[in-house]
Structure 1
């Protein structure tokens, strides 16, 4: 094959070879849940098949922390043992929920894979939730077992949950040791649910996004495909296992870390280097240095904090790829990264996606991002993107509308919420993202993300959830929450609170009131207390664009 001098043409040529008839990633169109989707012709049917295949990587590093190292073989054995314990001691079986409420640890990952061995559904609760939010999650998904670290276990004591709570520090390791050698398997169908992760809900309650075995196997295959693409573009033979080493800095209850980092490494053979605890620049960079990290998918806030330090104190020469995930980044910030961080100069990418889409819907390559800094890229393998008007009709290039996505990665739906699922996914499996943008020359440009959504440091914050909490305060008549620009976080949360008497309550009192009810990142940091009513339109809806802070 003769590669074209035009990088885009070369990529298209290589993609055609890899995905065409007889290619290692041959694609075909099949009916999935009643809709035609582009899928790989040769693929595994379940996550447990990925786990079984991972034993081929033997003693290679899979999970690495500052003080622990777990090989692929050790991980597979431990996941099988934990699955045996969950089945025998706690009766966990197909379709049961196994919840994790913990900070990032190898035990979090082991619990996820143990659930897959049993055909159970792993549920990742947000480790920053307050007691009230945790109680909602427990009631919503009704887990048979909860695995929690010591800090979060304390929050479970006063909840209604009376099932077993297994500590990541003590019970999980003991169970693995006691059931060594066991390795149960429960057959599942490709479209059976595998995992539930929560995203903030526009109705004021978190929604449980359900992804199937098909979804997550497809995401893993996509990451393997990108390895093949990268090798071929560089004129190298695609070989496995991969020698890449991925830095994990975001929580495992996000798709960026679970679906797109931890899970795919089982079939690529690459290592996951897991940072634990709060994001401390020196500790993170020392980990990169020591473990020779090659790839990092960072929230822009984290990348911004890196730039506050003298990078000359660290050997970051192993870094070969940097992606900005979870929140928009400005062209000016991208340029600052390129000027300070060598990897960003040649290998900075960004993407667009959401929890419901399973992985990125579009990705901007380094060259494309440098040329078009406001784009979020082109659709990835297997993804269809349409921009639609208010009537659901596709619009021409350059015309703004709602971004709609269809792919084998898109969620099954929302847990125990048929109405929300029907509102999000149509009969042809198109996901209405609620985000707005335009297509031009095959590139997607965002113009707004869910008109009311606040993106604070990579976390999605829906105003109505905070407004609902504020409504519980006896002095509050009404409120409006919105995002305002913030140098470090991208956006910070601001609240305008209407009261009868402006001296009836203080910002500190309101801040404490919300903090008792919601996770810290949802607590407004800027407050306006006023006796003037909020601006509303003819139908009574608050007109946020007319609110002035």
Structure 2
């Protein structure tokens, strides 16, 4: 059998199915897949050929590729003809996972619009900010969240059934777009206290599709007899994340593969039951879900033998935990992979195979095809192997920039399209990445990013707070929980419940501190006045 590098060169070299070639992209020379689709409309048009195969399956519903194509064509025509959506208009989706979420996304693309995924856990103030920031032509929301939006909103339950069936027999008529035109905006927490809208182009997403098709071809090259079209992928994470939208719902439309969607909050029994019933083959989970599996108890009553690929993403997990997971959850024993990526990178920057994890526990693996990776020092120059520095990456997957935020874009992406992640890591002799610090102050709670500045800015508005600092502390289930140290204003004694309620009214629930330390003593600071965050963190352990 051919070695890994030989197979890689055959697939991505000149004339290969996944040939990579440097081309001009937004003023820089980047490696691109030669045989990619040129826009998402092309991907959507091809998908109807999969006919009666399952595309989206839930515990109670099935949507075939043909039914999905018909629903999207009808809804896209309604968006254009009846609701006035024009190319470049934003259509925001603020809803829990459902087949209608996916239909709404593709209908927006088919109408020439830009789909904007709002975080379904946001509080009213966060939704109001996003509405002013992206100025959507209309908002699609489920009933639970429609009240947060107000105004021009279409409800999933009340309005979408009509739009989906309004124009039976409608033909897809997708407007022409440029490869680097915006297709999607997904929000990522901002270090300055405001969410930032990462703009992903048609090229970004069609590149991600090719990466997933490449993975299928790689498996075949190494003797996997499974037809990729027969695989069944579990979707549990929210669709406003790149893990579920860019790396599951979108590429599976392109490959004719089923998406098995769990609706509602994560429940171990419901999810394992769905895996058994639908013979799920692939699942990408977050460490919090894996922790709940480990702690669930007897898993033997579920037949999960169909699950042959299991990955962890969105947050770090320790080698020790991975060993505990392998011990109790058979699918993780030989198939567990890990990866490193961020909203701005659209897909994994690096991926660690089972062999990588066995040889180097804690590694996040090697760069994905088409990704160039450097570790840079404070002067911006690459550092040697084994030396810590900022993780910088360059590829056709990386976002175009931040929506209406040229300053933040310039800080994140240089003139040659290198993305500065803000994460600190190092490369080993085999070119594998190991992360040592993730965006310094970032808290990753159950796979969700929480930037302390955002919570601190809200707490600072409370009249009983003189100063405060928010940090992440270890949590056995969530990975980290949010903790706040509050210095009370003179004459004030705010209670934790009062402060938690104040934050909860303004931010998503997962950003509300669950641990509080209220004091009259000033926060420790260095000579320049900066709070000694590490000292505060150590006092809370």
What CA distance in whole angstroms lies between the structure 1 residues aligned with 2:414 and 2:167? 45
SS in 2 for 1:63: strand
Deviation at 1:539, TM superposition (A): 2.1
Where in structure 2 are the equivalents of 1:110-509 lying within 5 Å? 110-157=103-150, 162-163=151-152, 165-182=153-170, 183-234=172-223, 236=225, 242-309=229-296, 310-441=298-429, 442-500=431-489, 504-509=493-498
Pick closer, same or farther for the CA change 1:511–1:48 going to 2, 3 Å: same
Partner of 1:516: 505
Partner of 1:6: none
Any idea what the Cα deviations from partners look like across 1:323-350, whole Å, max 9, x if unmatched? 0011000111100111111111110000
SS in 2 for 1:84: helix
Check conservation: 2:463, 2:489, Cα contact below 8 A. Answer: no
Any idea what the Cα deviations from partners look like across 1:24-52, whole Å, max 9, x if unmatched? 11111111111111111122110011111
What CA distance in whole angstroms lies between the structure 2 residues aligned with 1:292 and 1:103? 24
What CA distance in whole angstroms lies between the structure 1 residues aligned with 2:224 and 2:180? 37
Q: Which runs of 4+ in 1 moved over 2 A?
A: 500-503
What CA distance in whole angstroms lies between the structure 2 residues aligned with 1:384 and 1:538? 39
Q: Using the TM superposition, name which of 140-149 and 34-43 deviates more.
A: 34-43
Deviation at 1:503, TM superposition (A): 6.4
Any idea what the Cα deviations from partners look like across 1:490-529, whole Å, max 9, x if unmatched? 0000000011458611111111111111100000000111
Deviation at 1:155, TM superposition (A): 1.6
Check conservation: 1:502, 1:531, Cα contact below 8 A. Answer: no
TM-score norm. by structure 1 comes to 0.96
Deviation at 1:170, TM superposition (A): 2.2
Check conservation: 1:330, 1:374, Cα contact below 8 A. Answer: yes
Residue 539 of structure 1 pairs with residue 522 of structure 2: no
Out of 9, 12, 18, the position equivalent to 2:11 is 18
Any idea what the Cα deviations from partners look like across 1:150-194, whole Å, max 9, x if unmatched? 00012223xxxx33x111112111111111222221000000000
Size of the aligned set, in residue pairs, is 535
Any idea what the Cα deviations from partners look like across 1:29-77, whole Å, max 9, x if unmatched? 1111111111111221100111111112111000001111001111111
Check conservation: 1:357, 1:411, Cα contact below 8 A. Answer: yes
What CA distance in whole angstroms lies between the structure 2 residues aligned with 1:472 and 1:449? 28
Partner of 1:7: none
Deviation at 1:235, TM superposition (A): 5.9
SS in 2 for 1:493: strand
Deviation at 1:123, TM superposition (A): 0.3
TM-score norm. by structure 2 comes to 0.97
What CA distance in whole angstroms lies between the structure 1 residues aligned with 2:353 and 2:145? 39
Structure 1 residue ranges without an equivalent (≥5): 4-9
Check conservation: 2:75, 2:166, Cα contact below 8 A. Answer: no
Check conservation: 2:340, 2:349, Cα contact below 8 A. Answer: yes
Out of 65, 77, 91, the position equivalent to 1:72 is 65
